[in-house]
Chain A
């Protein structure tokens, strides 16, 4: 059933009795054309685009817990397309364009708010790098503006402009960037995929692959074996342990990323913004909480919680750039599982095992990529070739030397 004002009105007058389930809860079939392992944002987006754009309806999404219970369930919600490298920026701009049309396409309110994203710049060199990145953004069809200090002071009077160590010299603004409601994206894709015949199956954990003579013919799960000619893994931070079941090692390590929300405050942040002299990014939610995050916890972990020294580190950045936030109280914090790759960029590729595909290595930047990741993975699965904007996301790029290293940190996953 469509969500629209008329339905709300009519249902309201009749006691809200006839709302339909947003998605079915089917039993897994014995066989599908394509199995998507992982019911997060990316997996559900993949299934939706397989059905909507490629006419593939015999598709199942298998999720070990409840859909969106991983990183899509708790992130800092920022959506943007302000990358530098030619292997990345067109992909993220495609994603941004998909975000812009998403609510209409899915008939679901994802609370998309294109409030803008400002990257602060604190030195001449950083401003030059910002200008270069702005040009890369413009070349990809995205929008970008370089703001001088006066323009920033007018809208962000609470920032510490004359900080002795990190004065604010300029800023790179993307006005079309913003935030979206992370849960809603998951539910929107799930409902839309379900309406096109995709089986969204929760509480179904993949615990092995059916592999024979280099060919993958499906998966073993907690609810039985399920066959498929194509299996598409996208499990984010769990990539290592899931692909190990196929005997594969990946150029990925798993780290925890913590994020935080303050008590609700009156509106103070006009856009999302990031600190240029430390790893810190922040926005204000519609409930008033200041939502922010920063560095990873630096050691391999699957614990989905981090240590207190990072809490101190991140809040120090917050107070350095925006001193007044020091008076706010932290309401909530959490940790998620990041699949950090060797160059900080993702993989959307076939594997050396026929029929087995891998999508992962999104590091801490997977949420904004959700629509394009789904679209490009669906394209790969349906046509057998990579999508134009995802051509760099090959698993063998570490061997061929075609790295996509935005931060220039080399083979150190915890530095990207």
Chain B
């Protein structure tokens, strides 16, 4: 599988370590209570089809990427720096 790094170009997926769903970027505040924290840590959508997920370029530039990939076909349609995604998200709420 090839991941098109926004800065470095196409890289073998084996250079990365995979964390999981990109929903992990949105950690709930403790004020939201135990159930919200539990659901964040343990429950997953685990979809067939489009999945946004976090990859860490461990053997490259050590950046975090948000990859949009189809879990059935493995087609990757979008790769963004996680930093850009996080900035855009906080930009939306501020």
Contact = CB atoms under 8 A, between A and B. Distances in A.
A338 to B, nearest CB: 12
A385 interface: no
A254 interface: yes
A240 B44 contact: yes
Contacts of A307: 1, 13-14
A411 B1 contact: no
A301 B38 CA distance: 24
Nearest to B67: A299
Interface in A377-416: 398-399, 411-414
A253 B43 contact: no
10 pairs of A and B residues whose beta carbons are closest in the complex:
A240-B46, A309-B14, A398-B42, A249-B43, A251-B42, A298-B18, A299-B18, A253-B46, A302-B48, A241-B48
Given A309-B12, A309-B14, A303 B44 contact: no
B71 to A, nearest CB: 5
A250 B13 contact: no
Contacts of A300: 20-21, 46, 51, 53, 71
Given A309-B14, A398-B38, A414-B18, A303 B71 contact: yes
Nearest to B51: A300
B41 A250 contact: no
A52 B68 CA distance: 48
Chain B interface residue number, banded:
20 to 34
Contacts of B44: 240, 249-253, 413
A336 to B, nearest CB: 15
Contacts of B72: 301-303
A196 interface: no
Contacts of A62: none
Nearest to A401: B38
A376 interface: no
Given A249-B46, A303-B73, 7 more contacts: A244-B47, A249-B43, A250-B44, A251-B44, A299-B13, A411-B42, A414-B18
Given A309-B12, A309-B14, A414-B18, A303 B43 contact: no
B13 A342 contact: no
A414 B54 CA distance: 13
A411 B47 contact: no
A412 B20 CA distance: 8
Contacts of A298: 17-18
B45 interface: yes
B74 interface: yes
B13 to A, nearest CB: 7
A6 B72 CA distance: 50
A363 to B, nearest CB: 14
From DSSP, what is the main secondary structure of chain B's interface residues? mixed
Interface string A237-270: 0001100100001111110000000000000000
Interface string B20-61: 110000000000001100110111111110010100000000
B53 A254 contact: no
Nearest to A340: B46
A301 B12 contact: no
Contacts of A241: 46-48
Contacts of A250: 43-44, 46
A312 to B, nearest CB: 9
B42 A342 contact: yes
* B41, B44, B72, B73 pick with most chain A CB within 10 angstroms: B44
B2 to A, nearest CB: 10
Contacts of B42: 251, 342, 398-399, 411
Contacts of A342: 41-42
Contacts of A254: 46, 71
Given A301-B74, A302-B71, A240 B47 contact: yes
A322 to B, nearest CB: 24
